[in-house]
Amino acid sequence: MSTTPPPSTPTSAHSSWWLLLLLIPFVALLWVPFYNRLEPAIFGIPFFYWYQFAWVILTSLIIVLVDSRTRDADSSDRGGQP
């Protein structure tokens, strides 16, 4: 891999749009006034707590999605190489 020059990657610009999804957890968790509240509570757990717990799972799902999308793009790059 070190000896061949990096091939031009026409699809990488397209696939990199998926990376923007990774910004969502930052917005959702760093804008504190949005979730610093008690209601709606679930099973007596205030919103402040269950909302942030929910983002653990959502962030994980986003990363799985972005990984699968950008990985496919990478492998199709390789398929296109002579």
DSSP-derived letter for residue 35 is T
Give the span between the Cα atoms of 51 and 43, in whole angstroms: 13
Q: How far is CA 59 from CA 47, 50, 81, in A?
A: 18, 14, 33
Near another protein by CB under 8 A: residue from 40, 43, 81, 82: 43
Give the span between the Cα atoms of 13 and 16, in whole angstroms: 5
Q: Judged by CB under 8 A, does residue 76 bind another protein?
A: no
Q: Judged by CB under 8 A, does residue 32 bind another protein?
A: yes
Near another protein by CB under 8 A: residue from 2, 40, 81, 82: 2
Using CB under 8 A as the criterion, which residues of the chain lie in contact with another protein when the complex forms?
Answer: 1-2, 4-6, 19, 22-23, 25-26, 29-33, 36-38, 41, 43-46, 48-49, 52-53, 55-57, 59-60, 62-64, 66-67, 71, 74-75, 78
